[in-house]
Structure 1
Amino acid sequence: MRILAEDIQKVLHELFVKYNFTPEKAQLLANVFTESTLDGVSSHGINRVPLFIEYIENGVINIKAEAEKIESFGSIERWDGHFGPGIINATKCTNRTIELAKQHGMGMVALRNTNHWMRGGTYGKQAADANCISIMFTNTKPNMPPWGGKESRIGNNPFVISVPRKKGHVVLDMAISQFAFGKINDYKLRGEKLPYPGGWDDNDKLSNDPDKILSKERGLPIGYWKGSALSIVLDMLATVMAAGNSTYRISSKEIETAISQIYICIYPGVFNDEELQQKLIEEIIDFTHNVEPISPEDKIYYPGERSSLTKSNNLEAGIVVDKSIWQKIMILAEK
């Protein structure tokens, strides 16, 4: 079914106010969930709303809590999320990192004890809108085996890099698994197989069947052993710099919570050569675009380009929403 963005936003705002968020926080949440869905990332947008409400109801998310600065070391700060909503904590920490970058040239906030930030690219775009380059990542519960292992011991630790660009920001937002688990669930909802293997089944065979992968959450790392190593290192960095929980410690909890995140911003304005920067970015994009595709139907995209096109289409035609997800949201709104 297709629903207009403003209708989704309105329903979500009313829902979050009903769950005792202030009107301002409810609006922020509604905006972020809607924007992700508008960009074609329903897996970390509207599809997550029922689970988000469930976590509020069972006390995993403290709706009154906000991230708070604990320690300061010049351009580097440690914050504690106090188990507050991941979107609100991430937005606040991104804003603070932008401030630090514009003051020092670079800034970093290391956040502990927070919840899922939903779509990491949201905060990369937030930084790019403020004319900052960003590097951000989070650890997660274990949902991938380390390369060569049988049991999941490492997280798919989403990783974000954004670069401000006048013609449309470059925003890389990727899990360290071949498919984000929300995306795997998207395929499951549609009754489709993954286009490539995305994890292991119960017989330790690589599979493209969402049900078989989701049953034990044994995702496939990007680049096989390389992705496995990258996941481990990102977990180490987030844990050490935030003095927070590692994937190991998160694994002891019944539900994924109290995760650790890193927000780094660089302010390229310190170089005073914005025209050169934009020229160099355009050269790279043009060189990448100008290649003959293997298949005539294929097109080459830079990171973030496809989601921008999807957003334009969805603004015009309405957003495709899974009917069962929308029904769950309406039941919550009317409860």
Structure 2
Amino acid sequence: MKITPEQEKSIITEILTRLDVSKEHAEIVAEVTLDADLKGFTSHGIGRFPQYIKGLESGTIKTQGEVEIENETVSTALLNGNHLFGQLVAYKGMELAIEKAKETGIGMVGIHDSNHFGVAGYYSDMAINEDMIGIVTTNTEPAVAPIGGKIPILGTNPIAIGIPSHKHYVSVDMATSASARGKLLEAARRGEEIPENVALDCEGRPTINPQEALKGSILPFGAHKGYALAFMIEILAGPLVKAAFGTGVKGTANPSEMCTKGDLMLAIDPSHMVDLDIFKDQVDALIGEIKSTDNVFIPGDMEVMNIKKHQSNGIEIDDKLCQQFKDISEELNIDLDGIF
């Protein structure tokens, strides 16, 4: 079945407020979740929402408290998320990075003691909307084995980069593994196979079974290149921001464990380096040169296409996920007539 974007935001906000989440925080979670689904990152959209409910139930996601600034300079800050919703903490983190970048040209904010924050690209978009470059990285529970090994030590460690432009949405948001873990969880929920050359089972053998892959390891994308990038992000989103790293990272996929991962948010104001309009003109010139060669895509084109499609046609919800929402809503005495 399908639901509209408005229905998705409404039901998420309603469920969270019934669970003592403030309306402001609930609306941010709903906005980030919907952003993932509209862009086609369904593995990080509404399909992840039941995980957040389990986190609330187990106490690993807190509804009370404040995001705390532990260290701060004119261009940097370190935030303690106090285990509030990851979406809220990341939103506050990028908001602060943007504020600092307006003043000094660059803002860098590290985060620890947060939670799974959805899609990284939502936060780099926040920078784009302020005519800034946004860069977001985070580490996750171990899912990727080092090259030559079969024991997961690194996370899927995504990176998102957004660039302001006059005419185009320019953004990349990707895991450094051959697949995001969320896509494996989604395939397992739907009873589907995963593509070849994505994952290994616990014996180090290639597998297309998502359950076996979740017990084993996901391959890095591009072999040693993805591995090297995941390794570097593990440090930037771990030791640099007072968060866990390697096998010490927990709670991004298992909501019963307190989350120990870290995030790093950067906002860069091009106007502190060059004329902003000239910068954006040159970004568009590069895009024009690339698109003039053939009918090709730039990073961000697919997301724009998906947003238009899902705004017009709705967002697909599989039967198992639909039942999970019915169960959650029944327990909270929420009427889902007309939605599910």
TM normalised by structure 1 equals 0.92
Aligned to 1:20: 20
Measure the CA separation in 2 of the matches of 1:64 and 1:235: 29
Instruction: Name the counterpart of 2:259.
Output: 257
Q: Is 2:106 the partner of 1:110?
A: no
CA distance in 2, matches of 1:65, 1:173: 30
Q: Deviations over 1:247-282 (max 9, x none)?
A: 332259973612111111101122452332222212
Matched letter for residue 248 of structure 1: T
Distance change >3 Å, CA 65–CA 38, structure 1 → 2: same
Return 5+ residue gaps in structure 2 as ranges. 332-340
Query: Secondary structure, in 3 states, of the residue corresponding to 2:213?
Result: helix
2 CA distance for matches of 1:27 and 1:128? 21
Q: Check 1:291–1:183 CA distance in 2 against 1; reply closer, same or farther (3 A cut).
A: farther
In the aligned structure 1, how far is the partner of 2:11 from the partner of 2:122? 20
Shift of 1:142: 0.8
Q: How much has 1:217 moved relative to structure 2?
A: 4.2
Residues 176/40 of structure 1: CA separation in 2 closer, same or farther (3 Å cut): same
Say if 2:156 is the partner of 1:156. Answer: yes
> Which amino acid is the alignment partner of residue 86 of structure 2?
G
Pair 1:308 & 2:335 matched:
no
Judge conservation of contact 1:66–1:85 (CA < 8 Å) in 2.
Answer: no
Equivalent position of 1:281 in the other structure:
283
2:40, 2:307 within 8 Å by CA — same for their partners in 1?
Answer: yes
2: CA distance, partners of 1:87 / 1:300: 33
1:186-197 matched pairs, under 5 angstroms: 186-197=186-197
Rounded to whole Å, the distance in 2 between the matches of 1:180 and 1:160 is 13
Match in the other structure for 2:231: 232
Q: CA deviation at 1:105?
A: 0.3
Higher mean C-alpha displacement, 228-237 vs 279-288? 279-288
Q: Is the 1:125–1:169 contact (alpha carbons within 8 Å) kept by the matching residues of 2?
A: no
Deviation at 1:24, TM superposition (A): 1.7
Deviation at 1:36? Answer: 1.5
Shift of residue 69, structure 1, vs aligned partner: 0.6
- The 8 Å contact of residues 113 and 258 in structure 1, kept in 2 or not, is answered as yes
Contact 1:201 1:212 (C-alpha < 8 Å) held by counterparts: yes
Pick closer, same or farther for the CA change 1:3–1:230 going to 2, 3 Å.
Answer: same
Q: Deviations over 1:25-45 (max 9, x none)?
A: 112211221221122111101
1:250 and 1:256 in contact (8 A); partners too:
no
Q: CA 1:234–1:266 in 2, change beyond 3 Å: closer, same or farther? A: same
Q: 1:102-159: CA deviations, max 9, x gaps?
A: 0100010111111111111110111111111011101111111111112111111111
Partner AA of 2:309 in structure 1 = N
* Higher deviation after alignment, 308-317 or 59-68: 59-68
Percent identical among aligned pairs is 28
- Letter aligned with residue 218 of structure 2: G
TM-score of the superposed pair, with normalisation by structure 2: 0.90
More moved, 25-34 vs 94-103? 25-34
> Hey, what's the Cα distance between the residues in 2 that align with 1:66 and 1:130?
25
For residue 297 of structure 2, give the secondary structure of its aligned residue in structure 1: coil
1:36 is aligned with what amino acid?
A: A
* Corresponding letter in the other structure for 2:117: W
Compute the displacement of 1:20 (Å). 0.5
Mapped partners of 2:127, 2:302: distance in 1: 19
CA displacement at 1:76 relative to structure 2 = 1.2
* Matched AA of 1:122: Y
Q: Where do 1:112-191 residues align within 5 Å?
A: 112-191=112-191
Question: Following the alignment from structure 1 to structure 2, what is the Cα–Cα distance between the partners of residues 169 and 211?
Answer: 36
- Whether the 8 Å contact between 1:127 and 1:265 is mirrored in structure 2 is yes
2:92 match: 92
- Residue 46 (structure 1) aligned with residue 42 (structure 2): no
- How far the C-alpha of 1:189 sits from its partner, in A, is 4.0
Q: SS of the counterpart of 1:114? A: coil
CA contact (8 A) 1:49 1:329 kept: no
Report the counterpart of residue 217 of structure 2 in structure 1. Answer: 218
Q: How far apart are the structure 2 equivalents of 1:36 and 1:53?
A: 18
SS in 2 for 1:281: helix
Match of 1:325 in 2: 321
Q: Partners in 2 of 1:160 and 1:196 — Cα distance?
A: 25
Point out 4+ residue stretches in structure 1 off by more than 6 angstroms.
none
The answer to whether the 8 A contact 1:36-1:45 is kept is yes
- With over 3 angstroms needed to count, the CA separation of the structure-2 counterparts of 1:15 and 1:143, relative to structure 1, is same
Q: Distance in 2 between matches of 1:239 and 1:165?
A: 31
Counterparts of 1:302 and 1:65, CA distance in 2: 41
Question: How much is the aligned-residue C-alpha RMSD, in angstroms?
Answer: 2.0
Measured after TM superposition, the shift of residue 201 of structure 1 is 2.1
Inter-partner Cα distance in structure 2 for 1:129 and 1:196: 38
Give the counterpart letter for 2:315 in structure 1: I
- CA displacement, residues 298-326 of structure 1 (integer Å, 9 cap, x when unaligned): x6321221111111111111111222212
- Shift of the 314–258 alpha-carbon distance from structure 1 to 2, 3 Å rule, reads same
